[in-house]
Amino acid sequence: METMIESKPSPMIYAGLERRVFNEWIKGVIKSAHSYSEEKLNYTILLIERENIDGKYRETVRILKALLKQRVEEKLVWKIKTCVCNKLKVDIDLIENKTRKREVVQARQIIQVIVKYQLNWSLAKVGLNIGLKDHATIMHSIKTMRNLYETNKYYRENVDSILIYLGAENIKKWLL
């Protein structure tokens, strides 16, 4: 009588099963990553990089890192907008509107210049993200802000206090 020896599947079968489950998880991550928090995105990238032995998920990691960078930049742009609008007592919703009121225009120009130099964005990207303006408008904002910064003491004090609050004092070199 033969005894039946219960044999365990080889580790390769387990590895194959884990890889299949991991691949399904990756597909789910890609579909729902836009709703992840920054912490969850960082953790997900860490997990994928740890399992990325053969480099198969390099593109997935690149996409997730780009999404994370975009989130961080959006958060910084929001912080800059709220800081400038609070300091200058301008409604933040007016920044995106086409109003020509002086206080709104100056707040928009300050935001555009700070975002340009803080995030090192192109003129076109700044214009697209703040007020749907083109690159020439951003160039004009930089020129106008430099002129006001050099000639208007009150304006300079406001801009300096905003830059100090944001920790962006390095932008002053672009204004002089």
User: Given this model, what pLDDT does residue 13 score?
Assistant: 41
| C-alpha to C-alpha distance for 38 and 23, rounded to whole angstroms | 22
pTM of the model: 0.74
User: Would you kindly state where each structural domain of the chain is located, as residue ranges?
Assistant: 11-70, 73-175
| C-alpha to C-alpha distance for 142 and 137, rounded to whole angstroms | 9
User: Given this model, what pLDDT does residue 6 score?
Assistant: 42
User: Given this model, what pLDDT does residue 84 score?
Assistant: 92
Q: Which superfamily, per CATH, for 73-175?
A: DnaA protein, C-terminal DNA-binding domain (1.10.1750.10)
User: Given this model, what pLDDT does residue 5 score?
Assistant: 43
Query: Of 126, 123, 128, 130, which Cα lies nearest the Cα of 107?
Result: 130
Mean pLDDT for back-to-back runs of 10 residues, the chain (176 residues):
42 52 77 80 81 74 86 90 92 86 90 89 88 84 90 90 84 71
User: Given this model, what pLDDT does residue 54 score?
Assistant: 66
